[in-house]
Amino acid sequence: MNRQPIIAIALSLAGIAIAVVIVRSQPQPADIVLSNGKVVTVDGAFSIASAVAIRGERIVAVGSDRDVAAFVSAGTRRFDLAGRTVIPGLIDNHMHLLRAGTTWQHEVRLDGVESRNAAIERLRARAKTTPRGEWIYTLGGWAMEQFADDKTPFTRAELDRAVPDHPLFLQASYYNGFLNSRAAQALGVDAPAGVVDERGMRAIAARMPTASGERLESSTRQMLHDFNRMGLTSFGSAGCEDDVLPLYRQLASRRELDVRVFCITAALQPPRGDHYIDHVAYGESVYGPLHDPMFVAKSDPSPEALAEWRRIATGVARARRQLHVHANLTGTIDAFLDQIDVVRKQYPIDDLRWTLAHVNQINAKHLARMKAMGVHAAVHPWAIINGGINLTVFGDAAYDMPPLRTIQESGVVWGLGSDGSRANQIRPFTTLWWAVTGKMVGGMRLLRQTISREQALAAHTRSNAYLLFRERDLGSIEAGKLADLAVLDRDYLTVPDDQIKDITSVMTIVGGQIKGSGIGNQESGSGQVQGISR
């Protein structure tokens, strides 16, 4: 019998089998590959890689350029990072996002502005492009104390000179407000010096024009674009106003929503598991009378009010929902922890990730109780703009509002947010700068207890993903997670401390979609890597 054909067939079949194995072992090609960079993964080991591969909405590989090269095909969009740093998309665990979009295009934002003169120039510039007689205003996110050159209150005469032909209103945090003559006349406000207190400020803010219809969409889109430039990709959204939420759902349905929105509302809505818009928590208020203000020296909740608070919180626990509650002052935090301790003995909350928000007067005793009860902290450092006001109201205690290192070392899960856009500024790298340097906007050092850059970044990414029940999908750059990341214009881990606040994102990716980029890419077949666009 001639064995040659049999051997040939056997070898041929073996070759086919080997080929099949090889084909099956080849990874499926990626849609996007970023390489030649510094990828700060913020994983459990805080490891550093150089390349990332993305397919669809998710990350499929993180590693060296050589590792990730296996995912490149003719159709892969390849980006040479030219050494740029990549971090996970930043998450703000508590911001009044939807409300901010209704005024964003109307406002002259002063977030991060360190000079009174620079603020006046922004107002003048807006006046030149605004039709005569229309309002010019800003609703919080700044305070006089952030101006390094001159912290004295604006005068009516000064604002009249800067903006003579428009009504002008400037809300400084939740502390006071400033009017020019046209604004005072239009509102019928008797404020000879042009200054109104908190009560008057709130009443005036409620009368400012807001966007609706097409203008609301335009204003919201501009805001989200600005946030992407800051590296922000997800928000715990306090409020999620019913009249604005449909716009976000429309944008999401068209795959045009540039951020993820996780609602914190006074409704016991169960989460839907949606990666772009979902309800995660009940809050931020539980019982309105116990919503402690920013600038009072102390709080003393009454037994009657606390009984009502506990009744509502018990319902939240019974429904198995997360509680995310405004708790700022020492007396309020003490009282709420007492009530939570009662509630949890009837309805366990250990796995519900109940969270105290703001916590500027939290202390080591509070934190020990929180750790024992499984309660977490959403830290919103109002002092970044309000540090000078805090010194006036709270004295030396302002230097530990909040005690960041004590929080970090407590073992309590905690994350950073802004509580923007009125109570605080909203720029995340300004928040990270504050956490590392202890400085408020304008440069005055007002935080005794600083933390490391790595700890601060983890608090604005991985920890916040946990607080929002998204740790399997967000918060770090790892294979299998959603592809939310930011390519930075400088290295967060090595730039001089005072440059941290000035970092921006030159490319932000949300769910595998590029939301604006200053980086050139090598398209399939182009044969040329363009690198960073200057």
For residues 467 and 492, membership in a common domain is answered with no
Which domain CATH number covers 420? 3.20.20.140
497 token code pair? 């401390």
The verdict on residue 9 lying in a domain is: no
Q: Give yes or no: residues 243 and 374 share one domain.
A: yes
Inform me whether the pLDDT recorded for 13 exceeds 80: no
List CB contacts of 290: < 8 A, sequence separation 6 or more.
301, 305, 306, 309, 332, 335, 336
Q: At which residue do the structure tokens 């960073």 appear?
A: 532
Do 389 and 487 belong to one domain?
no
Helix (H, G, I), strand (E, B) or coil at 178: strand
pLDDT at 271: 92
Q: Residue 521 has what pLDDT? A: 64
Structure tokens at 509: 């990716």
Tokens of 524: 């399939």
Average pLDDT over residues 307-336: 98
Q: Does a structural domain hold residue 262?
A: yes
Q: Classify residue 98: in a domain, yes or no.
A: no
- The model's confidence at residue 93, banded by pLDDT at 50, 70 and 90, is very high
What confidence score (pLDDT) does residue 531 get?
41
As given in the structure block, the two tokens for residue 339 are: 């009530």
250, part of any domain: yes
Within 10 angstroms of residue 222's Cβ, the number of other Cβ atoms is 13
Q: 355 with 377, same domain?
A: yes
Mean pLDDT of the region 272-289: 96
The pLDDT assigned to 27 comes to 85
8 lies in some domain? no
Q: What is the CATH number of the domain that holds 37?
A: 2.30.40.10
pLDDT classification of 192: cutoffs 50, 70, 90: confident
- Looking at the structure, tell me whether residues 248 and 277 fall in a common domain: yes
C-alpha span between 199 and 241 (Å, rounded)? 23
- Burial class, 1, CB count within 10 angstroms (exposed 0-12 / middle 13-18 / buried 19+): exposed
Same-domain status, 312 and 397: yes
Is 97 among the domain residues?
no
- Domain end call among 177, 205, 233: 205
Domain assignment present for 1: no
Which one-letter DSSP state was computed for residue 410?
T
- If asked whether residues 119 and 188 sit together in one domain, one would say yes
- Here the tokens at position 209 are 């024009």
Q: Which tokens go with 168?
A: 């002008």
313 in the same domain as 240? yes
- φ, ψ for residue 218, nearest 5 deg: -65, -45
Rounded to two decimals, the pTM is 0.93
Q: How far apart are CA 297 and CA 158, in angstroms?
A: 32
355: Cβ contacts below 8 Å, ≥ 6 apart? 281, 322, 323, 324, 325, 375, 376, 377, 378, 467
Whether pLDDT at 528 is above 60 = no
pLDDT at residue 498 is higher than 60 = yes
State which of 440, 474, 508 marks the end of a domain. 474
On the question of pLDDT at 19 being above 70, the answer is: no
pLDDT at 519: 75
Whether residue 293 has a cis bond before it, omega within 30° of 0: no
- Other CB atoms within a 10 A radius of the CB of residue 337 amount to 18
| pLDDT at site 497 | 98
Measured CA distances, 293 to 285, 360, 361, 518 (Å): 12, 12, 12, 42
Q: Which domain holds residue 488?
A: 27-84+483-534
- How do 232-238 and 90-95 pair as beta strands? parallel
CA–CA dist 27, 325 (Å, integer):
46
Judged against a pLDDT cut of 90, whether residue 221 lies above it is answered with: yes
194 shares a domain with 260: no
217 & 200 share domain: no
Q: Among 435, 465, 466, 463, which residue's Cα sits nearest to residue 449? A: 435
What pLDDT score was predicted for residue 529?
Answer: 36
431-474, pLDDT tens digit by residue?
999 999 999 999 999 999 999 999 999 999 999 999 999 999 99
State the average pLDDT for the chain: 93
Local confidence band at 534 (pLDDT 50, 70, 90 cut-offs): very low
Report d(CA 186, CA 209) in Å as an integer. Answer: 13
Query: Mind listing the pLDDT tens digit for each residue in 283-308?
Result: 999 999 999 999 999 999 999 999 99
Q: Provide the CATH number for the domain around residue 169.
A: 3.10.310.70
The pLDDT value given to residue 16: 41
Domain contains 18: no
- Supply the angle between the helices 213-229 and 245-253 in degrees, to the nearest 10: 70
Shared domain for 412 and 339, answered yes or no, is yes
Select from 165, 182, 205 the last residue of a domain.
Answer: 205
pLDDT of amino acid 522:
56
Give the pair of three-digit tokens for residue 522.
């090598």
Band the pLDDT of 525: cuts 50, 70, 90: very low
Say whether both 258 and 330 belong to one domain: yes
- Number of independent structural domains in the chain: 3
User: What is the pLDDT confidence band of residue 516, given thresholds at 50, 70 and 90?
Assistant: confident
User: Which string of DSSP letters, residue by residue, matches 305-341?
Assistant: HHHHHHHHHHHHHHTT-EEEEEE-SHHHHHHHHHHHH
- Three-state secondary structure of 438-501: CECCCCCECCCCCCCHHHHHHHCCHHHHHHCCCCCCCCCCCCCCECCEEEECCCCCCCCHHHHH
